[in-house]
Amino acid sequence: MPGVELTTAERTDLLRQLVAGELPDSRGRFGPFGGRYAPETLITALERLAEGVQRYLRDPAYQSELAAELKDWVGRPTALSHAPTLSRRWGVEVYFKREDLAHTGAHKINNALGQALLARRLGAKRVIAETGAGQHGVATAAACARVGIPCIVYMGAVDVLRQAPNVERMVQFGAEVVPVKTGDKTLRAAIDEAFRDWVSDPAGSYYLLGSALGPHPYPLLVRELQAVIGREARAQFIERTGGLPDAAFACVGGGSNAIGLFHPLAGDASVALIGVEAGGRSNKLGDNAATLATGRPGVLHGTYSLLLQDENGQVQETHSVSAGLDYPGVGPEHALLQAIGRATYTSATDDEALEALRECCASEGILPAIESAHALAGAKRWALANPGKKILIGMSGRGDKDMPTLSQVFGGARRILAEAGHE
């Protein structure tokens, strides 16, 4: 990996530390990655948040309230579903971890709820959030409504258009949705604007970051709140099959869904961990969001990780049919997992993801989010080369939000409307 050289001994020791819960370290480092790179005006707020994480994350009262809300309001544990038709077609036993069945329709609610409860304990007067596909925005809006804190959600103007159903959901939950018309008008621009807002009011605002990235302690906090996915899936898989999966797959943008699934499995050496990024239109820089495949180390949004940059170090615009994967960086724990060889990262193109979505719909009666469809595409490719195995796929969310995109791509509804005389 360019700029990152680790010896075999270093890789072994870093994996041991990760499994033992020793990473991130006190500086927020995951080996060479992570840390805290932030304006001086935010340091006090970040230190206060880090103290809150240490104080409350293991606090019995906080954990009890979070567990009760996850059960009664979110609907955890989510199901582990066998996919019989895909199993026959692919020649492996396929199981889905069904985060699409969680309240608000995706894994994002696990993190949003946990942070909203933390924000209330820290005395926040309002919550700021960013969103790409809209699922984090919806989850934040719902969680803030639940705990009684006003929230503002920043969303790229491009994503507002392609994720219109989620915009309406956020509004109905009482959130103020602010379209971001600067930069690339997608997730990166939304994060930029959310940080600007936070800088203007660090004492009264809580920034509810949606992925396992950003300055310390966010990668730690988001991982801990999302790890419920992997803990549940591991126990459910053992109960259902009598053992562990041979491989676990998850889509990767910033990486919160994937790290939630992967982290509890990192100590199980027999389980291959395979993340699937957005391959977009081509391998050309600017045509995809496959950061782990071609990225180089650098700092973005407060953390040192892998970024899609040009030869001058300028972070590049990205492309993906999936709004939730359209980001030029990745969480530092994923960068570490790749650097030490514990996880493998591949990609699926727009066309491959859309085809996987259609196959899942027609075969299993499940409409995955386009993000999740990338994991399906990567899993199918692996399955056809490894017959007879058992695989676990993180179904990060459902595809209701993607109807405008799917209607534009496939045109099924338009055709029927035309047949009905509504051209």
Given 3.50.50.60, 3.40.50.1100, 3.40.190.10, 3.40.50.720, which CATH number is that of 28-70+107-222?
Answer: 3.40.50.1100
Predicted pLDDT of residue 414: 77
- Cα–Cα distance for residue pair 155/131, rounded to 1 Å: 5
Whole-angstrom CA distances from 326 to 133, 148, 226, 229 are: 9, 31, 20, 23
Provide the 3-class DSSP secondary structure of residue 244.
coil
Bridge partners of residue 378, in order along the sequence: none
Predicted pLDDT of residue 417: 77
- Cα–Cα distance for residue pair 288/325, rounded to 1 Å: 9
Q: For the chain, how long is the longest CA-to-CA vector?
A: 69
Predicted pLDDT of residue 412: 76
Residue boundaries of the structural domains of the chain: 28-70+107-222, 75-105+227-414
Write the burial class of residue 127 (CB in 10 Å: 0-12 exposed, 13-18 middle, 19+ buried): buried
- Report the CATH fold assignment for 75-105+227-414: Rossmann fold (3.40.50)
H-assigned helices in 126-267: 135-147, 157-162, 164-172, 187-200, 218-226, 228-241, 256-262
- Cα–Cα distance for residue pair 412/130, rounded to 1 Å: 32
Q: Is 35 left (phi over 0), alpha (psi -120 to 50) or beta?
A: left
| pTM for the full predicted model | 0.96
pLDDT beneath 70: ranges in the chain: 1-3, 423
Q: Evaluate whether 344 touches 273 at the Cβ level (below 8 Å).
A: yes
DSSP state of 262: H
Domains 28-70+107-222 and 75-105+227-414 alike in fold: yes
Predicted pLDDT of residue 59: 97
Q: Catalytic site residues? A: 108, 130, 396
